[in-house]
Structure 1
Amino acid sequence: MNIKEFESVLKLPRAKRYSYFIKKVVDYEEVWGLYDDGWAVSEDDDGNMLLPLWPRKEFAEFCAKHEWENYKPKKIDLYEFMNDWLPAMKEDSLKPSIFFNNIDSIKLEIDTLLNDLNLELEDY
């Protein structure tokens, strides 16, 4: 990915970054998180625990700052993510935080994310 694409995608509004996320994770069959003896998590203003996720290693790396400065991008296979991770996250009341750009992200229900991924996979 070139720097111009990287910077322009980071500046997209949340909804467009979410669409980009869905398309890219299905294209590459991988999801990225930050890991350091455990996965990076955050909390929203309502006290919900969030797992930040990105479509590409470069975006995760860009967010490895402040409390996550020791974290490194780690790949998750898309099918493992859909079949194992999302059900476990739902059981643990952990919500996905999609495509944080150090400003904001999309926070949504697991069923919505799973449905959107399945819809995108139908095109392949």
Structure 2
Amino acid sequence: MTSKEFEAVIKLPANIRYEYFIKKVTDSEAIWGLYDDGWAMSSDDKERLLVSFWPRKEFAEYCAYEEWSNYKAHCISLDDFISDWLPNMVEDQHKLLIFWNRDDSAVLEIQVLLNDLVKELKKY
């Protein structure tokens, strides 16, 4: 990824970054998170945990700053994410923080992401 492409994508509105996320993770079959003795999370106004994910390592690393400065980007296979991660997050009542760019992100229910991933995977 060129720095020009990175800068262009990171500045997109959250809904467009979400669409980019869906296409990139289904194409690469990989999702990126930040990890340091636990996965990078925040919480919403109802105190529900939001788990953060990105479509590429570069974007995750860009967000490893401030309270997440010690976190490192880790790859999760798309198969594991769909079969293990998402069901466990549903059980734990977490929500998803998709493609945060240090400013905003898409925050959504797990079933919405799962439906969008399955729909995109059918194109392959």
> What TM-score range do you get, normalising by the shorter chain?
over 0.9
Q: Name 2:52's counterpart in structure 1.
A: 52
- State the alpha-carbon separation in 2 of the partners of residues 7 and 43 from structure 1: 27
Secondary structure class of the residue paired with 2:74 = strand
**Displacement of 1:37:** 1.2
Q: How does 1:20-99 map to 2 (within 5 A)?
A: 20-99=20-99
Give the paired residue count: 124
**Displacement of 1:64:** 0.2
- State the alpha-carbon separation in 2 of the partners of residues 33 and 95 from structure 1: 14
The normalised TM-score by structure 1 is 0.98
Secondary structure class of the residue paired with 2:113 = helix
- State the alpha-carbon separation in 2 of the partners of residues 107 and 90 from structure 1: 14
- State the alpha-carbon separation in 2 of the partners of residues 39 and 112 from structure 1: 21
Secondary structure class of the residue paired with 2:12 = coil
- Please report the RMSD computed on the Cα atoms of aligned residues, expressed in angstroms: 0.6
Structure 1 residues without counterparts, runs of 5 or longer: none
Structure 2 residues without counterparts, runs of 5 or longer: none
Secondary structure class of the residue paired with 2:32 = strand
Render the CA deviation track for 1:7-53: whole Å, top value 9, x for unaligned: 01001001100000000000000000000111111112232210010
- State the alpha-carbon separation in 2 of the partners of residues 13 and 4 from structure 1: 17
The alignment-based identity, stated in percent, is 60
Q: Name 1:11's counterpart in structure 2.
A: 11
Q: Name 1:117's counterpart in structure 2.
A: 117
- State the alpha-carbon separation in 1 of the partners of residues 101 and 53 from structure 2: 10
- State the alpha-carbon separation in 2 of the partners of residues 2 and 45 from structure 1: 36
Letter in structure 2 aligned against 1:75: C
The normalised TM-score by structure 2 is 0.98
